[in-house]
Structure 1
Amino acid sequence: MGATAFLYILLSLWVQDAAAILGFTRSDFPQDFVFGSGTSAYQYEGAVAEDGRRPSFWDTFTHAGKMPDQSTGDVTADGYHKYKEDIKLISDTGLEAYRFSISWSRLIPNGRGAVNPKGLQFYNNIIDELVKHELVFSLYVCGGLVG
C-alpha cells in the first residue's frame, strides 16, 4: 500500500472517529458552511531546484542550518509532483474547498521582472485540477515571509 493510500485511509478513519467522539455531524453546521483544507507552498511543494525555481528566503534560512532538526523544504510533501493525487484525496474525503499559496521564487524567480512560464503552468495545472474535481479554491497571496 502506498503512503498516499495509507494516509487517505488514516484520515478517513480519523474523521469518522472524530465525528463520533465529538458528537457532531455535517448537519450540525450551517448549510452554507464549507469544509476544506489548505497548504503552504514552502511546506508542500518541494522541488526547490526544478523548472526555474530559485532559492527563497526560507531556502536560505534552512540551508544555513537554522532549523533545530536541520530540515529543509527541498522535498517536503512533494506536492509539485503529487498535486493531482492530493486534490483527488481532498475530493474523495468529502472536502469542498482548498486554499493554497504561491511560491514567488517559482513564479517570479528573480523577485521582479519576468514570470517563469513553468511556474505559471504549475499553478494553472493546480487550478485546472481543482475545477475538474469541483472544489472551491482560494489563493493566499501574502502573509508572513514570502517563500
Structure 2
Amino acid sequence: MLRLLHVVAPLLVAAAVGSAATSGEISRDDFPTSFVFGASTSAYQWEGAAAEDGRTPSVWDTFARAHSGSGDDHVRGDVAADGYHKYKEDIKLMKETGLDAYRFSISWPRVIPNGRGEVNPKGVEYYNNLINELLNHGIQPHVTIFQYDLPQILEDEYDGWLSPQIIDDFTAYADVCFREFGDRVTGLL
C-alpha cells in the first residue's frame, strides 16, 4: 500500500496541475522556467530490502519493530515501497509524470553496515545505479546523506548522536558519499 502511495502521490499532483490547465486555472507554464518540479522520499520509507545485500538495522528498524504488529512488513520498512527492487519502474513513472528532480536519502547502514569501517560494495552499487538511472531519464538527483537512519550498532555502542564519537563516524560516512556519488548529484545535503 505504501509503495502505491509513494508512486501515486506525485502522479496526483501532476494530474492536478494537468486538470487545472485544462480548466484554465494553472499549468506548468504558469511557473517560472527555473522552477523545478520534483518529488522526494527517504530511504527507510521507500527502499525496503532491510536485510538484503549487506544492509544492517537502523534505529528506525528497531523502533518500528518495537511499535508495530507482527508480520506488518510495510509499516516496518522491511519491504516499504520496495524501491530497492523497483527503482527503474519508479523512475519511469517519474519521467512520465514530468518530474525534473528527485530527492532521496542514502541509508547509512546500507553503505557502511557497521557504521564505520568497511564500505558495502552492494550498497554503493545500488546508489550508483539509482543515480545513473535518474540521469539517464533526465531527472536531477538531489541527495540527503542522513535522514534519521543511524546504524543501530552505533546507537548500541555509544548512544549514537549523544556521543562526540559520532563526529568521526559520520565524517567518514559523509566522505564516502561525497567520493562515490558527489560527481553526479545536484546537491548532497
Give deviations 1:108-132, integer Å, cap 9, x for gaps. 1000111100000000000110111
Structure richer in helix, relative to its length: 2
Identify the residue that residue 93 of structure 2 maps to in structure 1. 89
In structure 1, which of residues 86, 111, 126 is the aligned counterpart of residue 115 of structure 2?
111
Identify the residue that residue 41 of structure 1 maps to in structure 2. 43
Shift of the alpha carbon at 1:19?
4.8
Given that 2:6 and 2:81 are in contact with CA atoms closer than 8 Å, whether structure 1 keeps it comes out as no
Take 1:32 and 1:81, find their aligned partners in 2: how far apart are those partners?
A: 32
SS class of match (1:100):
strand
Q: Does 1:57 align with 2:59?
A: yes
Letter in 1 for 2:83: G
SS class of match (1:138):
strand
Take 1:76 and 1:129, find their aligned partners in 2: how far apart are those partners?
A: 20
Residues 6, 72 of structure 1: alpha-carbon distance in 2 compared, 3 angstrom cutoff: closer
Letter in 1 for 2:133: E
TM-score, length of structure 2 as denominator length: 0.66
Identify the residue that residue 144 of structure 2 maps to in structure 1. 140
TM-score, length of structure 1 as denominator length: 0.84
Shift of the alpha carbon at 1:64?
1.2
Take 1:106 and 1:44, find their aligned partners in 2: how far apart are those partners?
A: 13
Take 2:105 and 2:99, find their aligned partners in 1: how far apart are those partners?
A: 18
Identify the residue that residue 78 of structure 1 maps to in structure 2. 82
Given that 1:8 and 1:89 are in contact with CA atoms closer than 8 Å, whether structure 2 keeps it comes out as no
Residues 57, 19 of structure 1: alpha-carbon distance in 2 compared, 3 angstrom cutoff: farther
Residues 8, 37 of structure 1: alpha-carbon distance in 2 compared, 3 angstrom cutoff: closer
Q: Which has the higher contact order (CA 8 A, sep 6+)?
A: 1
In structure 1, which of residues 102, 105, 108 is the aligned counterpart of residue 106 of structure 2?
102
Shift of the alpha carbon at 1:25?
1.0
Residues 131, 112 of structure 1: alpha-carbon distance in 2 compared, 3 angstrom cutoff: same
Structure 2 segments unaligned to the other structure (5+ residues)? 152-189
Amino-acid identity (%): 55
Identify the residue that residue 154 of structure 2 maps to in structure 1. none
Residues 29, 12 of structure 1: alpha-carbon distance in 2 compared, 3 angstrom cutoff: closer
Letter in 2 for 1:57: V
What RMSD over aligned residues (CA atoms) do the two structures have, in Å? 3.0
